[in-house]
Amino acid sequence: MEIKVEEINKLSTAIKDISGYDFTDYSIKSFSRRIEKILADYKLSTDQLIVKLHQSRDFLEEIVREITVNTTELFRDPELWIVIKNDILPRFTNKDSIKIWHVGMSSGQEVYSMIILLNELGLIDKAEIYGSDINTLVIDDAKKGIYRFRIITDYLDNYNKVFDLKDKRQSKKHYEKYFSVDWLKGIIKLKKGLIEKPIFKKHDLVNGGNIFETNFDIIICRNLLIYFNQELQNKSFYFFHQILNDDGVLILGAHESIMGGMVTKFEKRDNLYLKKGKNYV
C-alpha cells in the first residue's frame, strides 16, 4: 500500500527525535519505498512502528538497517578498482603517508579491497585506513571480516579481473594471501592481518562531522549519496572538499556525480574527483 507523505514525515521526525538519525533529507522516493516494505514485512501501522521504535534501541538499529541499503561486494565495479590500482594509489609512492576514509562502507568489503591493493603496491605500512557507516550492525560484520558463500563466486570474478588472474590455480595462490575460502561452510574469511588494520567507527554523514579529526588523501563514498536529496548531496560534497588534502581524491559510485557549487572545486575523471589544490592551473 502506498504511504502518504504526512505519514513519512511523521515517521522520519519520530526517528530523528528518538535517535538523532536524520532521514528528512533522504530522497523521498526510495525512503517511502523502504518504509512501505518495512510496514508490510512487520505487519505494523506507522503509529505502531513509532511505538516500537521508542521501546527498543535494538529494534531501532534493525529498522535503520532495513531503511538503508547495505549491498556491497569485494572489489565491486572491478574496472574502478583497476583505475585505483594503476592511476590513483601510485601517486602516493613517494609520499610519507596516505590517509583514506571509506564513508558508508557497509560491511567493509570495500575497505578490505583497498587494503589488498595497498599491500600489493607496497604502500600498506604508510597507510591509515578509516571506515564508517551509520549502521552498527554492518560495522560489526566489517570487524569480523567473514562473508557468505552466495557472493563468493562474484567476489572471485571481481578479484580475478582486478589482478588479471587467468586460471583457478593462479587465482587461489593470489587470494590465499588475503582470505581463505571454505566451500563447505560457504564463507570466505579474511586474514587477521587485514582485519586488524582499519579503524572502524559509527558515523552519520548527515550530521556526524569529521570524527577522525584528520584530513584525507582519498575519500571513498560510493552508493550512499544516491539516497540523499540534492541539497544533502551538495552539503556532503562541501564537507568532503573541506576535509580532503590538496590534490586529494573523492571517489563516488557509478550513478553519483558532483553538482552545484562544488563542481568547479574538483577536476572530474569519470567517477573520480581530484580536489583542485592551491597550485592547480
Ligand X SMILES: C[S@@+](CC[C@H](N)C(=O)[O-])C[C@H]1O[C@@H](n2cnc3c(N)ncnc32)[C@H](O)[C@@H]1O
Q: Which residues bind ligand X (CB under 6 A)?
A: 68-72, 76, 104-106, 110, 133-135, 138, 203-206, 222-224, 253
Nearest to 10 by CA among 23, 20, 1, 2: 23
Half-sphere exposure of 235 (CA within 13 A, CB side): 12
Closer CB to ligand X, 126 or 197, in the complex: 197
Closer CB to ligand X, 135 or 160, in the complex: 135
Residue 169 CB, nearest distance to ligand X (Å)? 29
Closer CB to ligand X, 89 or 224, in the complex: 224
Residue 67 CB, nearest distance to ligand X (Å)? 8
Helices marked H in the chain — which ranges? Answer: 5-19, 28-42, 46-55, 57-67, 78-83, 109-120, 136-144, 152-163, 168-175, 192-195, 230-243
Maximal CA-CA distance, the chain: 58
Residue 98 CB, nearest distance to ligand X (Å)? 19
Residue 122 CB, nearest distance to ligand X (Å)? 25
Closer CB to ligand X, 32 or 68, in the complex: 68
Place of cell 582499519: 198
